Amino acid sequence: MTTKPDASAANARPFWKEPMVWLVWGLPLASVVAGLWLVVTAVRAGGADPVIDEVQRVSQIQTTDLGPDERAAQRKLSAILQVRPDHVELTAVTGEFGRETSLVLVLTHPTEAAQDLRLPLSRTTTGWTAPAEIDTRHDWNLQLTPANSAWRIRGRLQKETQASRLAPSLGGG
């Protein structure tokens, strides 16, 4: 007596060529890999709050001290920052900065806090200066304060530019 070969055994394919295996195992595995990639990306991005101001958080409300901005607006302070190849120059435009005032310029990178710069400025006959090589291939957020942080004025140095105006954030600066 002869036995007929089983038709399903002759047409058997390896498991990796079965579409149902890819649906059952492949899609969940792909979603796990994508989830791990998102977690790694989020961790490398740093903190969720890249502002340099002191912020107080109560419940879901964030507040910051606007007193230095108000004082700068009352004094009508404004200045021009010029970026040179090997230094920066600050020139007072309006308001009274005071001759003996030592100023600090903070340049913050919009996305990478590791690139932030803090420059103490020295008084010159025309304003203030500090040695620095500033990368102008991207924007910079600018903040100028005296050493005691009594007031502050802010500005933004646009990409590929060499000058910016700094003014109070409040009061129509």
Query: pLDDT tens digits for 122-135?
Result: 988 888 999 999 98
Provide the CATH number for the domain formed by 66-166 in this structure: 2.60.40
State residue 162's pLDDT score: 92
State residue 57's pLDDT score: 74
Domain spans in the chain, listed from the N-terminal domain onward: 15-44, 66-166
State residue 148's pLDDT score: 85
CB atoms under 10 Å from CB of 149, counted, come to 12
State residue 2's pLDDT score: 61
State residue 47's pLDDT score: 58
State residue 81's pLDDT score: 93
- What number of helices (H) and strands (E) belong to the chain? 4, 10
State residue 172's pLDDT score: 59
Query: Which residues of the chain are under the pLDDT cut of 50?
Result: none
State residue 105's pLDDT score: 92
Tell me the C-alpha to C-alpha distance, in Å, between residue 39 and each of 45, 47, 131, 141. 10, 13, 40, 28
Between CA 117 and CA 103 the distance in angstroms is 14
Tell me the C-alpha to C-alpha distance, in Å, between residue 165 and each of 59, 82, 138, 143. 36, 9, 17, 11
The token pair that represents 96 in the structure block:
């009274």
Asked whether 166 and 155 are in contact (CB, 8 A), the reply is yes
State residue 114's pLDDT score: 82
Between CA 121 and CA 106 the distance in angstroms is 10
